[in-house]
């Protein structure tokens, strides 16, 4: 039932994105502010999957916040995440597991503050792990980044936070559903290094999550080449 429901929600999300692209092609003067793009309702805030006829309540739009701080990574002086994508993967991995998003899945009652924190975490990960999105955010700021996402096939702000969590452990890009080779490599190295203390990030250094030792060794080998 769980896998069927997850696949069903993903299919709906991608159909909505395709509908937006189709509308752009039909309308010669694309005006995103005149088209109501339906938001994907997070599975965590959803009621049972049998209430499809009911009008869902949407989460309030996220207020501006620091994506780097939310994900727990550091910004380089030259721009970008210190440590690159591997650091983003490690940060989301550690924080998402601590947040335990399964408690939100299909729940009628849940901690609204914890859900808001997880929504921010998912958006921060999707943005900072994507070079193009991160560059827009770094250059233009939160509000302009939100506006730019209105022109994307799938807006980062419309992504299902629980879906982002599921796609992460499936080694898939949350926006496209395609397999992410870098994420897959990270997960394999993380699993191989699961007995190392570096995989578990303590609360004291949560702002700079550890990258699995195997990942550091592989990256060092590539740098030597």
Residue 225 DSSP label: -
Name the pLDDT band for 25 (thresholds 50, 70, 90).
low
- At 78 the pLDDT is 87
Query: Please, what is the Cα angle at 155 between 153 and 157, to 5 degrees?
Result: 170
pLDDT of residue 205: 43
When pLDDT is cut at 50, 70 and 90, the band that residue 65 belongs to is very high
pLDDT band at 59 (very low <50, low <70, confident <90, very high): confident
Whole-number pLDDT of residue 57: 62
**Separation of alpha carbons 52 and 45, rounded Å:** 14
pLDDT digits (tens, 9 = 90+) for 128-138: 999 999 999 99
| pLDDT tens digits along 1-23 | 444 445 555 666 666 665 555 55
Q: What is the pTM of this model?
A: 0.64
**How confident is residue 206, by pLDDT bands cut at 50, 70 and 90?**
very low
Round to whole Å and give the CA distance between 179 and 170. Answer: 8
CA–CA separation, 150 vs 147, rounded Å? Answer: 5
pLDDT value at 76 more than 70: yes
> What pLDDT was estimated at residue 23?
53
- Report the SS3 class of residue 71: helix
Predicted pLDDT of residue 214: 42
- Which residues fall within 8 angstroms of residue 214, CB to CB, at 6 or more apart? 189, 190, 192, 193
Q: Quote the percentage of the chain above a pLDDT of 90.
A: 52
Q: Give me the DSSP letters along 74-99.
A: -B-TTSSBTTHHHHHHHHHHHHHHHH
Mean predicted lDDT score pLDDT of the chain: 75
């Amino acid at each position: 039932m769980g896998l069927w429901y997850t696949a069903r929600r993903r299919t709906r999300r991608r159909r909505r994105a395709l509908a937006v692209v189709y509308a752009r092609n039909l309308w010669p003067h694309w005006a995103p502010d005149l088209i109501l793009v339906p938001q994907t309702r997070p599975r965590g805030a959803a009621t049972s999957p049998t209430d499809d006829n009911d009008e869902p309540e949407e989460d309030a739009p996220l207020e501006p916040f620091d994506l780097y701080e939310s994900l727990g990574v550091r910004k380089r002086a030259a721009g970008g995440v210190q440590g690159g994508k591997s650091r983003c993967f490690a940060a989301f991995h550690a924080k998402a597991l601590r947040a335990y998003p399964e408690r939100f899945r299909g729940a009628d009652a849940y901690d609204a503050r914890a859900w808001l924190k997880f929504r921010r975490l998912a958006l921060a990960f999707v943005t900072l792990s994507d070079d193009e999105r991160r560059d827009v955010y770094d250059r233009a700021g939160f509000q302009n980044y939100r506006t730019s996402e209105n022109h994307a096939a799938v807006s980062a702000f419309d992504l299902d936070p629980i879906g982002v969590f599921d796609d992460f452990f499936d080694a898939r890009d949350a926006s496209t559903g395609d397999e992410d080779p870098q994420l897959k490599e990270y997960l394999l190295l993380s699993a191989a290094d699961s007995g190392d203390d570096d995989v578990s990030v303590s609360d004291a250094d949560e702002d700079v999550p550890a990258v699995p030792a195997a990942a550091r060794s592989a990256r060092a080998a590539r740098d030597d080449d």
